[in-house]
């Protein structure tokens, strides 16, 4: 059985709900990521911020009378997704994939003993698919 632990990212970048979208956008750019868990002071996930959330917030701000968006005034707590699901490191990868697919999530925090230990994303599943395809192609030549 392939587990979440085998494909999750273990070095998780996080932000606080009190951070603004400018900080989130810059961190996403620096780290080349699209999802960031938002954690409380005990490092427990309270939400997720995505590139899509940031773009939606900026579009919403631009649709008003303001033509200038002040990213520093828009806090993550105002725009983050609060309804998050998570998986355990030892869970079958298939279960994580089904949760992503069913809920149309782009990522799932990985929790162990109420501690954030990783994140698994839709991009990680592309890696899984490529890995499986390579194995199938390799077995064709054996």
Residue 62: pLDDT band by 50, 70, 90 thresholds?
Answer: low
Tell me which architecture the domain covering 4-140 has in CATH.
Roll (3.10)
Average pLDDT over residues 73-102: 94
| Pairing status of strand 35-39 against strand 45-50 | antiparallel
- Range with the poorest average pLDDT among 2-16, 22-36, 45-59: 45-59
Q: Is the pLDDT of residue 68 over 60?
A: no
Whole-angstrom Cα distance, residue 1 to residue 109?
20
Residue 10: pLDDT band by 50, 70, 90 thresholds?
Answer: very high
| Pairing status of strand 35-39 against strand 107-112 | unpaired
Q: Is the pLDDT of residue 61 over 70?
A: no
Average pLDDT over residues 123-138: 89
Share of the chain above pLDDT 90, in %: 70
Q: What is the pLDDT of residue 112?
A: 96
Q: What is the pLDDT of residue 60?
A: 64
Q: Is the pLDDT of residue 122 over 80?
A: yes
Q: Is the pLDDT of residue 96 over 90?
A: yes
CB 73 within 8 A of CB 20: yes
Average pLDDT over residues 31-46: 95
Q: What is the pLDDT of residue 64?
A: 56
Beta carbons within 10 angstroms of residue 129's beta carbon: 10
């Amino acid at each position: 059985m392939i587990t979440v632990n085998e494909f999750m990212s273990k070095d998780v970048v996080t932000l606080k709900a009190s951070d603004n979208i400018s900080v989130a956008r810059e961190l996403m750019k620096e780290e080349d990521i699209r999802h960031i868990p938002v954690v409380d002071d005990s490092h427990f996930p309270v939400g997720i911020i995505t590139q899509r959330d940031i773009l939606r917030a900026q579009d919403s701000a631009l649709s008003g009378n303001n033509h200038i968006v002040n990213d520093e005034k828009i806090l993550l707590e105002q725009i983050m997704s609060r309804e998050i699901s998570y998986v355990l490191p030892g869970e079958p990868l298939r279960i994580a994939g089904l949760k992503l697919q069913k809920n149309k999530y782009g990522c799932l925090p990985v929790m162990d003993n109420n501690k954030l230990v990783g994140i698994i994303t839709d991009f990680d599943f592309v890696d899984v698919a490529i890995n499986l395809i390579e194995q199938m192609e390799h077995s064709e030549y054996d």
